[in-house]
Amino acid sequence: MDRNVGVNPAPPLIDRFGRQITYLRLSVTDRCDLRCVYCMKARPDFLPKADLLSLEELTILCDAFIARGVTKIRLTGGEPLVRKDVLSLIENLGTRIGRAGLKELCLTTNATQLPRFADRLAAAGIQRLNISLDTLDSDVYRRLTRGGDVNNALAGIAAAKAAGLQVKINAVAMASINEVHLPELIRWAHGEGHDVSLIEVMPVGEIGADRSAQFLSLRDVCATLSDRWTLTDLPDNTGGPARYVRVEDTGGRLGFISPLTGNFCDSCNRVRVTCTGELFTCLGKSGRIDLRHALRNGGPAALEHALDDAMAEKPWGHDFDVSPGAGAAVDRDMARTGG
Ligand code: SAM
Ligand code: SF4
């Protein structure tokens, strides 16, 4: 006999604007082996390890979200693959794919650890990776990441491809830093069979630098690329914030994620949870719900209430501003929030 007959399923997560939350971005660590200039300070204050959710707590959280209708989970960070034992979390969550409603488990990574992990990620059920790579130029990469070696990232991307993982390259477009290197990056990625998404730098976190100097409008990038290549609009909608074109000259797909010049909040289907269990209802707002407190002090019922509270509080959207002197929209950086 089916033991669930007569049991009401948990209600879906629907916010007060009628948007259903089906996508969870979960940061598993705030630590990273790189120090990208748009993401964190040169000497970040990392959280005490005791503040982080355990792997077991992270699993309980994911199960609670899946039960409430989340179909896609992206693990991120910081750099998710520098967390010790993260593979056991991924392998555990991988067993939920295809049952209990989880359709996709994916990862955002800087690729440096992929030579070690790509095969096991594929075996765990991960099919797609978002890989952050802002330039192929080794000097620019070293400057942007404050000391990274682009060859490590390239070796990781090659390992992912060899393991059969589908790769999308994400590049943050930065004025006078990687601006002139973007066409080369796009041509290379398309040649390797990878989609590319360009991202506008967001004023998230105090990074010890002026955001307005970093900001590059993707409208301008698109116009410059159109002078060089034929870009054909694509109707593709992956449920995300990117607008896609096909670059006829390379045959590849190029996305533009423009939180500043093309706000996409009306179709928002996601929430972010940090490695300490803070649920942020919007990337650009400071509203938060403490899921760790609910988990540790209240148990399953408190967790359910906390998720309901989050739906009641999720704001309509962000109002990022990168004009000179505007400062950060929120004080937490991307590595802590989970990009
Ligand atoms: N370490 C992993 C990586 O770099 O892919 C995952 C975490 S990282 C915070 C996730 C994404 O956020 C990366 O694609 C990164 O480029 C992006 N990111 C970080 N800070 C950003 C900012 N201020 N504006 C826009 N994107 C940012
Ligand atoms: Fe690390 Fe990713 Fe932030 Fe770069 S963007 S510092 S790789 S967390």
* Residue 10: per-residue pLDDT: 85
| Of the candidates 185, 212, 206, 207, the residue with the CA atom closest to the CA atom of residue 196 | 185
In a domain, 2, yes or no: no
- Assessment of whether the complete model's pTM goes beyond 0.85: yes
Ligand 2 pocket check: which of 35, 36, 283 to mutate, most ligand atoms within 8 Å of Cβ?
A: 36
Q: Above 60 in pLDDT, residue 28?
A: yes
Kindly state the DSSP code that residue 138 receives in the 8-state scheme.
Answer: H
Kindly state the DSSP code that residue 169 receives in the 8-state scheme.
Answer: E
Centre of ligand 2 from the C-alpha of residue 202, in Å: 14
172 lines ligand 1 (CB under 6 A): yes
* Residue 235: per-residue pLDDT: 84
Centre of ligand 2 from the C-alpha of residue 86, in Å: 17
Which amino acid belongs to residue 6?
G
Number of compact structural domains in the chain: 1
Centre of ligand 2 from the C-alpha of residue 100, in Å: 32
* Residue 139: per-residue pLDDT: 97
| Tokens describing residue 266 | 């009306």
* Residue 193: per-residue pLDDT: 98
Q: Where are the beta strands (DSSP E) in the chain?
A: 23-27, 72-76, 104-109, 128-132, 166-173, 195-200, 231-233, 243-247, 252-257, 270-273, 278-280, 288-290
CB-side neighbour CA atoms (13 Å) of 138: 4
Residue 75's domain is classified under what CATH number?
3.20.20.70
| Of the candidates 96, 155, 101, 104, the residue with the CA atom closest to the CA atom of residue 127 | 104
Distance in angstroms (rounded) separating the CA atoms of residues 137 and 78: 23
Query: Are 216 and 201 contacting, i.e. CB atoms less than 8 angstroms apart?
Result: yes
In a domain, 305, yes or no: yes
Largest CA distance in the chain: 65
pLDDT digits (tens, 9 = 90+) for 194-231: 999 999 888 776 766 677 778 899 999 999 999 999 99
User: Relative to the alpha carbon of 214, which ligand is closest?
Assistant: 1
In a domain, 194, yes or no: no
Number of helical (H) and strand (E) elements in the chain, helices listed first: 11, 12
In a domain, 174, yes or no: no
156 lines ligand 2 (CB under 6 A): no
Q: Please give the residue range of the domain that contains residue 148.
A: 23-168+263-337
Q: Is the dihedral of CA 119, 120, 123, 124 positive or negative?
A: negative
In a domain, 231, yes or no: no
177 lines ligand 1 (CB under 6 A): no
User: Relative to the alpha carbon of 134, which ligand is closest?
Assistant: 1
Q: Above 70 in pLDDT, residue 176?
A: yes
pLDDT digits (tens, 9 = 90+) for 116-161: 999 999 999 999 999 999 999 999 999 999 999 999 999 999 999 9
Q: Cα separations (Å) of 141 from 71, 125, 127, 138?
A: 34, 31, 27, 5
CB-side neighbour CA atoms (13 Å) of 103: 6
* End-to-end CA, the chain: 44
In a domain, 63, yes or no: yes
34 lines ligand 1 (CB under 6 A): no
Instruction: Read off the pLDDT band of 4 (50, 70, 90).
Output: very low
Pairing of strands 166-173, 195-200: parallel
Centre of ligand 2 from the C-alpha of residue 98, in Å: 30
Highest mean pLDDT among 38-42, 164-168, 285-289: 164-168
pLDDT digits (tens, 9 = 90+) for 245-275: 999 999 999 999 876 655 566 778 888 999 9
In a domain, 242, yes or no: no
Q: Above 60 in pLDDT, residue 55?
A: yes
Our measurement of the distance from residue 184's CA atom to the centroid of its chain's CA atoms, rounded to an integer in Å, reads: 24
In a domain, 27, yes or no: yes
Query: Are 61 and 53 contacting, i.e. CB atoms less than 8 angstroms apart?
Result: yes
Centre of ligand 2 from the C-alpha of residue 132, in Å: 8
Ligand 1 pocket check: which of 145, 172, 194, 332 to mutate, most ligand atoms within 8 Å of Cβ?
A: 172
| Tokens describing residue 21 | 């939350």
32 lines ligand 2 (CB under 6 A): yes
